[in-house]
Amino acid sequence: MQPNAPILTRLVEGGRVVPWWKADRVRLPHEIMHSVAYLYTDQIAAEDGDSTGAATAFWVSGEFRPGAFPQGTTVAFVVTNRHVIERGATTLRWLGRDGTPSILNVPKEDWFFSSNPNLDLALWTVPLGIEGNVFLIPTSRFLIPDELDQFDVRIGDDIFMVGRHLGFDGKIKNTPTARFGHLVQYPLEDIEDDKGRKHKSFLVQMPSLPGFSGSPVFLYQNEIEKNAEHGRVAIGQRPRFWKLLGVNLGHLKAFTATYHAGTQARNQYLYAEINSGINVVIPSWDLGSVFNELLRAKFGIG
């Protein structure tokens, strides 16, 4: 470590000092890569790695009041977009921590949708025992509205998404891909998707392609940078921490003018769709509200 590094930007992690010039790299927690599953249209497509209609899902563990379930029970769920299930991608393939792939068809009727038709979310309650070989994102990691101020969440904060890149997704075994970007708008106004659903959502600047629908999107904050800005000494803290920002819905479409072939004359009747570079992310607290709906409907809790 450089001897003159200011103490303000030093940090102790795991018993060792991490200097400021090494602490700002965006390196993902390893377990996050084990939180993702792929969705296919059927068993054969899952076995072949067929990308037709493919999408992403992720694993979540619920936290409930004492006595709600038998002691020691882990209640796990799979989360994705409702439009993914509605178009028939209901067969899960996931890779366990031991590297073994598993495939399971989940009938469409077993997926739970919110009573709010504008919430493009679908949840499936996982049978006991299946969840033991993956990383379950705990509901305590869901960002909630009060934490926007508590954690000083700002426009420009780092975010990342883990999901299925159809060109590099792994044919035999899942190979999730991470994508990185920044928060560009809070969920203050309704954003309309291509199905006409309107909902208050985060906007993030991050590349997205078909296949990433249903991916988990995370806030990844730099504690050293924040503490330095506020004049605090960052001793004994981790350089970064993560929270689930929400669920990726897809890129926000934009349209551009077209021109008659071989001329500079605009075609007033035809516009071309382009990727705006902006993704729509359903806030994690809305996912939490759908969990509450499911628990009331399925378990009588809440």
Fold of the domain built from segment(s) 7-299: Thrombin, subunit H (2.40.10)
Cα separation, 273 vs 230, in Å, equals: 43
Is the pLDDT reported for residue 156 higher than 60? yes
Is the pLDDT reported for residue 4 higher than 70? no
Cα separation, 239 vs 241, in Å, equals: 7
SS3 for 77?
strand
b/e map 209-248, b = 16+ CB within 10 Å: bebbbbbbbbbbbbbbbbbbeeeeebeebebbebbbbbbb
Bridge partners (DSSP) listed for residue 255: 273
Q: Tell me the per-residue pLDDT of 48-63, one tens digit each, with 9 for 90 and over.
A: 888 787 899 999 987 6
The fraction of the chain above a pLDDT of 70, given in percent, is: 75
**pLDDT attached to residue 245:** 96
Report, as an integer, the average pLDDT of 13-31.
55
Nearest to 58 by CA among 41, 27, 82, 33: 33
Is the pLDDT reported for residue 99 higher than 70? yes
Indicate the pLDDT class of residue 131, thresholds 50, 70 and 90.
low
Helix H or strand E segment including 296? helix 284-299
Cα separation, 50 vs 16, in Å, equals: 46
Cα separation, 190 vs 197, in Å, equals: 9
Nearest to 95 by CA among 170, 179, 44: 170
Cα separation, 215 vs 104, in Å, equals: 19
